[in-house]
Amino acid sequence: TIILGIETSCDETAAAVIQGGSTILSSIISSQMESHKRFGGVVPEIASRHHVEQITLIVEEAMEKAEVTFEDIDAVAVTEGPGLVGALLVGVNAAKAIAFAHDLPVIGVHHIAGHIYANHLVKPLEFPLMTLVVSGGHTELIYMKEHGQYELIGETRDDAVGEAYDKVARTIGLPYPGGPRVDKLAQTGEADIDFPRAWLEEDSFDFSFSGLKSAVINTLHNARQKDTEIAPEVIAASFQEAVSDVLVTKTMRAVKKYGADRLLLAGGVAANSGLRGALQEAADREGIQLTIPPLSLCTDNAAMIACAGHFLYEKGQFADDRLNGVPGLALESF
């Protein structure tokens, strides 16, 4: 089975071709980062326009690189949501147009299912498994007993981890998107500041990062007011340690409670060196098998969408021509 995947939920225009559910024949990503940088974040109208300009070229490039024609393709999988509605619509309409022109089925894919299935491209998923999803808009613990079945056991009550990273970066004075830059800075500093950890109720698998974010911002403001200097790398390292401390502790507790055999890390913040290292260490200590996608599959891409789409293809879960971009799409039915 060969699936063409399309992803346009945010600020990456991406297309990929995968074979047999896990072999990547091509994966092309066009990032709009430079266009959004001067606004300090993603501007929806600019994102949509870029997608419109890029989508046909990116799909063509993915097909060429994979050395396939539309005759070879079995289905088109596209991100249906969640994301920016105008951005999603570009991908959805491109997928529908291709499907109509070449008489192919369309598969609507949930973006977070895609992030989770990025792990399948590394090593076939085995169940039951626990996934820690950490991205720009999501921080969730998801338990899976089989393909396409998602049980949300915890989520953030305020900021997503990626969002907290980007805000902390801005306060330090780093350009958008700040996550990777805070990560880099953190690697050069000591975690000397004991920022607060939000553990919440004893049995809760929920998260909260707004308190930590505010503590970082206040620490920086207070230092500036007193004209004292706190090294930004110390702030970054201390913030990073507080984040991964909570994420790793809660994740390992969830793995134990649910008796999961496998642990996955998913989403853009899975690229974070501190989190990767700390989670790997904890998993090794507990004898839990951990999969973390390579950096290129952590942030938004279409290979992960094609991969999740592959399993929907096998289930026969196809979209009809009413398929639309759904900004707040729920994960349960994917």
Annotated binding-site positions? 111, 115, 133-137, 166, 179, 183, 272, 300
d(CA 3, CA 16): 8
Nearest 5°: the CA angle 299, 28, 300 is 15
List the one residue from 165, 195, 205, 239 that touches ligand ATP (CB under 6 A).
Answer: 165
Give the shortest CB-135-to-ligand ATP separation in angstroms.
Answer: 3
Residue numbers 3-62 binding Mg ion by CB under 5 A: 10-11
CA dihedral of 79, 81, 87, 92, whole degrees rounded to 10:
50
What is the Cα gyration radius of the chain? 20
Strand partners, 11: none
Complex with ligand ATP: residue 63 or 115, whichever CB lies closer: 115
Annotated binding site for substrate: 133-137, 166, 179, 183, 272
Place of tokens 């005759």: 71
Binding mask 271-310 for Mg ion (x = CB under 5 A): -----------------------------x----------
Cα(first)–Cα(last) distance of the chain, in Å? Answer: 19
Closest C-alpha to 267, from 259, 257, 275 = 275
Tokens of 9: 């939920």
233 in Cβ contact with 186 (< 8 Å): yes
Tokens of 190: 């000591």
Listed ranges 179-187, 202-210, 227-235, 316-324: which one lies at the site for ligand ATP (CB under 6 A):
179-187
272 binds ligand ATP, rule: CB under 6 A: yes
Give the shortest CB-327-to-Mg ion separation in angstroms.
Answer: 15
Complex with ligand ATP: residue 110 or 262, whichever CB lies closer: 110
Give the shortest CB-299-to-ligand ATP separation in angstroms.
Answer: 4
7 binds ligand ATP, rule: CB under 6 A: no
Complex with ligand ATP: residue 8 or 63, whichever CB lies closer: 8
Closest C-alpha to 166, from 298, 37, 327, 12 = 37
Tokens of 276: 């990767």
Closest C-alpha to 88, from 80, 76, 96, 100 = 80
List the one residue from 36, 50, 138, 213 that touches ligand ATP (CB under 6 A).
Answer: 138
14 binds ligand ATP, rule: CB under 6 A: no
Give the shortest CB-210-to-ligand ATP separation in angstroms.
Answer: 15
Closest C-alpha to 141, from 183, 200, 87 = 200
Residues 6+ apart with CB under 8 A from 324: 80, 89, 92
Complex with Mg ion: residue 96 or 170, whichever CB lies closer: 170
List the one residue from 267, 293, 309, 325 that touches ligand ATP (CB under 6 A).
Answer: 267
- Tell me the number of residues near Mg ion by CB under 5 A: 3
Binding site for ligand ATP (CB under 6 A): 9-10, 83, 111, 115, 135-138, 162, 165-166, 177-180, 183, 267-269, 271-272, 299-300
